[in-house]
Each structure stands twice: as structure tokens, then as C-alpha cells.
Amino acid sequence: MIHSRNRRLRVNESVRSLVRESILTTSDFVMPVFVMEGENKEEPIASMPGIFRRSIDLTVKECKELFALGVKAVNLYMKVSDDLKDNTGKEAWNKNGLMQNTIRAIKDAVPEMVVMPDVALDPYSIYGHDGIIENGKIVNDATNDALARMSVSHAEAGADIVAPSDMMDGRVQVIREALEESGFTDVGILSYAAKYASSFYGPFRSALDSAPKDTMEIPKDKKTYQMDFHNSREALNEVFKDIEEGADIIMIKPGLPYLDIVSKVREAIDLPIAVYNVSGEYAMVKAAAQNGWLDNDKTIIESLTCFKRAGADMIFTYFAKEAAMILNR
């Protein structure tokens, strides 16, 4: 006779929900937002169905809608004009730049929205790299100084948390010190601690025209600073160093192919963990759903719940608005 039957706790939805371990809510989501120059402008991103580049006014409108749905945080990315790009990234700390004006506009319109601007030089670089290039190499320390100036500029504009995604060594400490010295002791740092050199970023780079330029003089990819996808122990090394330097939240990127890293880091640290459900992951689900191969809504909720099950506290995802609508239904 069988005495222990696991199926007793799966007998109906009420019982299943009672013993459910991982619960997904709208408060778990951070929506990445692409911003462009202009007014009342919206451009679809072909490789990411349902995602748009928008001018500041329409971005503010979108943020109001997101907040009303329960999505309380946005992650900002700028589509920078080519004439503003150079090898220093100086447009990144322009007090009246597109990023700074966007931060102010969102905080004025939706004060309780958590605004997390991306901190990286690739949208501002003529080379499409996350760092300053000297003698054909991405230089670390000069890039850190630029990232610190960028972060302080974001804080001055009203950012709640800065999100350095560049993977330079020691940049969390340099940014933390710059924020402290400038009086922004309450501005947090969400560090992309374990960001891998991944093929899953393709649609994102086309959205911002931020892919590395293919020339003989500079590295053709980002593998000298982003992590090798063959490695997992290295992720813990990166995470521990960023925590020592003052990170408040740890990011793992990409998401679904790296759930083992999320789980490993969750077991090792108590800090909040963010995971990035990146553009390639989004595009794959959308393509399959549009072809009728997957159920769109069910696949979205299942894949996002996987992140919570693995140990993530927050999820950066292009599904945020759509998932919020599904959950609210």
C-alpha cells in the first residue's frame, strides 16, 4: 500500500496554489525602455515585436501606463545621434542630454517610479564598445572615470539607482566613491556583476545601433571584458568583488540560458539578485508564438517564473507590460 502520494498536493488549482513555492507579481518586473530624440515619435523595433523606441513625451506616457499596471521600475537606454558619438563618451554626462532629460521627465510625471538608467559608453561610442579605446584596446581605468561622471550626472537628474553594465574591473568602487563625494549617498548601484559575452543580445544592439564596429584597429567583440559563457565559478568571483566595492543589487545577464548561475549566486549571497531576460530570449518566444508553436501568455508567465524559482528577486524583461496585463487578468 502506498502511504506517501505527492499527487495529493496537485489535486486541483486551489491546493496547488496553496503550496506554490515561487510567486510572480508585477512588482518583480523592471521594464527596459528605449528613448529617442524628437517629439510624439515612436519607431517599432523589427526584431522585438511589440517593443518601440519612443521620444521623451511618449516614454513618459508609457511609464504612466506601466506604473498603473503595477510595474514600478524602468531601465533606460538612449538611441544617440551619430553626430554626438566619439571615443570619450562625453555626451553621456551632458546635463541636458537625452538621458538626463528623460530621467527628469519621468520623475516629474511619475515620482514613485524607480528609474534605473543604464551606465555604459557603447551607445555614445563611435566604436560601439563599452569603453574608451587607446592603441586598439579598451582601457579600463579611464573608462571607469567616464562611467563615474556618467553616474553622477544620472543622480543629479534624479535617478534612483544607476546600473553599470560595462564589466570594467573596479568600476563599482569608482562609481560608489564618486556618488558619495557628490552627496548622493542614497543612490543605489545595480551592478551587472556576471554579464556574459552572449549571442542573445543581437536584437538589443540593433535597437540602439550599439554593436561593436567591425574594423581591424579595434576588438570585433566584447569578449575582453564580458564573461566567457563557458565559465560559472568566475561568476562568483565577479559577484564577490562587486559586493566588496559597494554594489547594492547584483545582476546576472542573460537570463534563461544562465539559470544555473542565478541559482549558484543565490546560494552564495544575501543581496538582492536581478536577472535580465534579454532581447534574444524575448525575440525567440515572440517568433514561436507568432508562428503558433507556443502559447504566448503561458510561455511568458512560465519563463518569468523560472527566474523567481532560481532565486532572482527582480526581473528585467521586455515582457514586463504584457506580463503585468496577464497577471492582472
What are the residue numbers of the active site? 195, 253
Angstrom CA distances, 262 to 162, 203, 259, 291, 307, stand at 21, 23, 5, 30, 8
Give the type of residue at 311.
G
Residue entry with cell 542573460: 254
Contact predicate 140/132, CB 8 Å: no
Q: Please state the length of the chain.
A: 329
What does the alpha-carbon distance between residue 205 and residue 211 come to, in Å, rounded to a whole number?
Answer: 5
Look up cell 545601433; give the residue: 209
Q: 10: which 3 cell numbers? A: 496537485
Answer whether 22's CB lies under 8 Å from 309's CB. Answer: yes
What counts of helices (H) and strands (E) characterise the chain?
A: 11, 12
DSSP labels for 232-295? SHHHHHHHHHHHHHT-SEEEEES-GGGHHHHHHHHHH--S-EEEEE-HHHHHHHHHHHHTTSS-
